Amino acid sequence: MRRFAIFLPIFWPCAAIAQSGEEQRPRIVVNSAATVPSPPDRAVVSFSVHGEGATSDEAVRDMVAKRDAIEKGLAGVSARPDIRAAQVGIAEVRGRDCNRNTYGNPRLSTGECAIIGYTADLQVEFRTAAVNEAGTMVSLAGRLGATNPRIDRYFLAEDKEIRRRGIAEAVAEARLQAEAIARASGVRLGGVLNVSNLSFNGPGPYDEIVVAAARVNSPPPPPPPPPPVAIGLKPRAIETQVRVQVIYAIQP
């Protein structure tokens, strides 16, 4: 736990008191922060799946067969896989001599610009609680035909309790520092006038909306692969930072 505090004793001038019509007493303002390190409990692995074929259907079947093999392999590493498709697209493939400049005149799909095949691409995000096996999942996805597999990030599925701990630590530290300021200044610390949470809580747990590509009947997946190359990883801790501002009265 790392903590620091900024202290701003404020003494309100008489002119301000006269303008507001209310008596403003001197006060001590303390900005305190606490950082709570926690091991992540979720990892996000992302990759793309590429398929090719003479027709769009063949390209999609190729892509889906690879996707199914990858999902089956990853399910053997993570007991409860959460695989989500982000984008799916099909593109026409023409000869290398075809020049279809979008700013020029339209060209028919004949001659040099005749369609010679199709590609299908699917972007996938895989969320898992097996954070220490995320590197192995990247290795396995690459072996099974995934394109550009990688670990995107680690995160906490729920951090409310951690933030509550941080708030308690920050407020307790603010009290200690305010007492030290009062003693050093020769004044008596009064009660709390106001407490503000200055933290940005960030996004909460991910929702359950899933955008998935439609499944297409595909040939049987390849036989189970040999054990993947293990990549031992220990992710660094997630540092949850909480900031509070506490305003104390000064007793007369």
Tell me the CATH number at 19.
Answer: 3.30.110.170
Provide the pLDDT for residue 146: 93
Mean pLDDT of 51-70: 93
Same structural domain, 146 and 223: yes
**pLDDT of amino acid 226:** 65
Are residues 142 and 70 both part of a single domain? yes
Residues 78 and 123 in one domain: yes
pLDDT, residue 111, reads 84
**In angstroms, rounded to a whole number, what is the distance separating the alpha carbons of residues 86 and 79?**
22
Greater model confidence, 40 or 8: 40
Among 181, 247, 242, 249, which residue's Cα sits nearest to residue 30?
A: 247
Asked if residue 228 and residue 187 are part of one domain, the reply reads no
Q: Based on the domain organization, do 123 and 223 belong to the same domain?
A: yes
pLDDT at 150: 92
| Residue bearing the bigger pLDDT, 83 or 129 | 129
Cross-strand bridge partners of residue 238: 38
Model confidence at 22: pLDDT above 60 = no
Same domain, 150 and 75: yes
User: Rounded CA gap, 121 and 89, in Å?
Assistant: 5
Would you state the pLDDT for residue 207? Answer: 29
Is a pLDDT exceeding 90 seen at residue 12? Answer: no
| 40 CB-near residues (< 8 Å, 6+ apart) | 131, 154, 155, 156, 235, 237, 238
Give the burial class of 202: count Cβ atoms within 10 A of its Cβ; 0-12 exposed, 13-18 middle, 19 or more buried. exposed
SS3 of residue 221 by DSSP: coil
CATH number of the CATH domain containing 214: 3.30.70.2970
The strands making up 27-38's β-sheet, listed across from edge to edge, are 2-10, 27-38, 238-251, 188-197
Q: Is the pLDDT of residue 147 over 90?
A: yes
If asked whether residues 193 and 224 sit together in one domain, one would say no
* pLDDT of the residue at 105: 67
**By C-alpha distance, which of 198, 121, 188 is closest to 167?**
198
Who wins on pLDDT, 107 or 73? 73
- Position 54 pLDDT exceeds 50: yes
User: Higher-confidence residue: 211 or 12?
Assistant: 12
Report residue 242's pLDDT band, with 50, 70 and 90 as the boundaries.
confident
| Domain that includes residue 194, residue range | 2-38+159-202+241-251
Query: For the chain, what is the domain count?
Result: 2
Q: Which band of pLDDT confidence, cut at 50, 70 and 90, is reported for residue 5?
A: very low
The SS3 call for residue 111 is helix
Tokens 């709390």, residue?
192
The residues, any chain, with a CB within 8 Å of residue 203's CB and separated by 6 or more, are: none
192 and 212 part of one domain: no
Which residue, 49, 230, 40, is CA-closest to 135? 230
Beta bridge partners of 53: 118
**What tens digit of pLDDT does each residue of 159-215 get?**
899 999 999 999 999 999 999 999 998 999 999 999 988 876 544 433 222 222 333
Q: Which residues pair with 2 in a beta bridge?
A: 35
Shared domain for 103 and 53, answered yes or no, is yes
Q: Residue for token digits 């996000």? A: 44
pLDDT higher at 248 or 232: 248
Let me know whether 132 and 229 are in one domain: yes
Return the pLDDT at 55: 93
Say what percent of the chain tops pLDDT 70: 73
Whether residues 87 and 51 fall in one domain: yes
Whether residue 197 is found in the same domain as residue 227: no
